[in-house]
Structure 1
Amino acid sequence: MKRFLVVISFGAVALAACGGGGSGPSLGVQTQASAQSVAQSSSDFPGLQKCSESGSYESYLKAEETKNPDQYKTDKTTWEDLKAAGANDSYIAVYAANATDCGQFAAGTPSGKVAYVYAIRFKDSTSASASYKVTSKDFHLSDSDLANLKAAGGTVQVGAATGLGDNSTVLSIDVAGLAVYVAFWENKQFEVAMIAFNDAAEAPGAVTKINGRIR
């Protein structure tokens, strides 16, 4: 970050020395996308409201601690592991059609359409790729898990077939009347997971929009 600021400052000084920057050439500097800019957009899930627990991983954990202390412990460990692996920014966006489905922290059975988007930015793409390979097992997306899902009637796509790159998995399955759609992928320095309940029609398009915001 310090090096980036030095580059910007040097460019400003150089332009001033040349008589101003109004018509000067562009430096071509492109800032990294934030985790929030990737995870959150009101257009991703039309008709769903954004839940108040949406926010950085830290703020999400604070809200979860009182609501679901057992899950909080697990999620806190997950976030610590992600940071140790190079994560430097995060955002969790939660959407629901019914207000009663907000604040559930992935516990219980949704009464309507619900979507969770987890965007984790890493210090570089190498760290993100390495984390994807580790996290996919914790996300119950190992080869044996996927085989079990297929056997239960689920649809599974992995790698290039998803349209999200080599490090990606997309699955959908109906469980006791609950339609579940999961996309988990790594793109550049981001690791993203999206879980949608009862919203199979909008979920694929939302994934495309989210992935398109990564830069």
Structure 2
Amino acid sequence: MNRVTVLASVLLLAACGGSSGGSGGAQQETSAETVASSSSDFSGLQKCPESGTWENYLKAEQAKDPTQYDTDKKDLDNLKAAGANDTYVAVYAAATSDCGNFGSDTPTGKVAQIYTIRFKDSSAASANFKVNQKDFHLSDSDLQNIKTAGGTVKQGTTTGLGDNSVLVELSIAGASFYAAFWQNKNFEVAMVTFNVSASDSESATTKINGRIK
């Protein structure tokens, strides 16, 4: 998925040195879309057409990159098997040319991507965190590469997002990169921004986390 291929390209640059769950009925649960999507999160960025449920996102990807789609469809199936019951992907960009980027090229303009997964309960979300952390290319070895390249890495309570969380910031080859991945209650959220200021990225992270009920 874009989450895998684009993050992998950033980490390749880094490695090379620089060139508790809710109660009540299901109808009362906070949706993945409610958590992921708000027009106030990123000033000056417009929502891209591939935004929507993860299935909708995959349909858009399938039309542009069928090979990558096959891999990413398996990822979604694995999430569902682990207890995911609602998903949403929100993509924002300053320029329409940076929408629909399903390849490995790092965006040249301002782009923000939010991947939200709601699980059946907080236990399922917590159990899946380490697995999904690796899928988002934020494994221990990936984080070490980011540190080696001069990036900042925070994990656990130091992020302000709870025990199951990681936050990274990196500027390399003229581009800035920010990623936050965390588990809160029965949700997992990954937020990735390119060329968006750290303060704006951090503010959006706080807003998104605050919508988890």
State the distance in 1 between where 2:99 and 2:136 align. Answer: 22
Cα shift readout 1:38-71 (whole Å, capped 9, x = no counterpart): 0000000010000000000001101100112222
State the distance in 2 between where 1:83 and 1:209 align. Answer: 26
Q: Aligned residue for 2:207?
A: 209
2:167 touches 2:180 (CA, 8 Å); kept in 1?
yes
Q: Which deviates the most, 68-77 or 162-171?
A: 68-77
TM-score (norm 2): 0.85
State the distance in 2 between where 1:114 and 1:4 align. Answer: 36
Q: Structure 1 residue runs of 4+, over 6 Å off?
A: none
2:65 touches 2:103 (CA, 8 Å); kept in 1?
no
Deviation at 1:152, TM superposition (A): 0.8
Question: 2:62 is matched with which residue: 62, 65, 88?
Answer: 65
Residue 194, structure 1, aligned to residue 209, structure 2: no
1:12-23 map, 5 Å: none
Q: Aligned residue for 2:174?
A: 177
Question: 2:49 is matched with which residue: 33, 52, 60?
Answer: 52
Q: Aligned residue for 1:14?
A: none
Amino acid at match of 2:209: N
1:1-215 map, 5 Å: 4=25, 31-105=28-102, 107-200=104-197, 201-215=199-213
- Unpaired segments ≥5 residues, structure 2: 1-23
State the distance in 1 between where 2:144 and 2:105 align. Answer: 25
Give identity over the alignment, percent: 61
Between Structure 1 and Structure 2, whose CA radius of gyration is higher? 1
State the distance in 2 between where 1:180 and 1:138 align. Answer: 17
1:98 touches 1:111 (CA, 8 Å); kept in 2?
no
Amino acid at match of 2:86: D
State the distance in 2 between where 1:41 and 1:64 align. Answer: 23
Deviation at 1:107, TM superposition (A): 3.5
Amino acid at match of 1:47: G
1:56 touches 1:91 (CA, 8 Å); kept in 2?
yes
Cα shift readout 1:61-83 (whole Å, capped 9, x = no counterpart): 01100112222122111101100
Amino acid at match of 1:166: D
Amino acid at match of 1:211: N
Relative CO higher for 1 or 2, CA cutoff 8 Å, sep ≥ 6? 2
State the distance in 1 between where 2:200 and 2:104 align. Answer: 22
Q: RMSD between aligned alpha carbons?
A: 1.5
- Unpaired segments ≥5 residues, structure 1: 6-29
Deviation at 1:106, TM superposition (A): 5.6
Cα shift readout 1:108-165 (whole Å, capped 9, x = no counterpart): 2312100000000000000000111111122222222211210110100000000000
Q: What is the number of residues matched between the two proteins?
A: 189
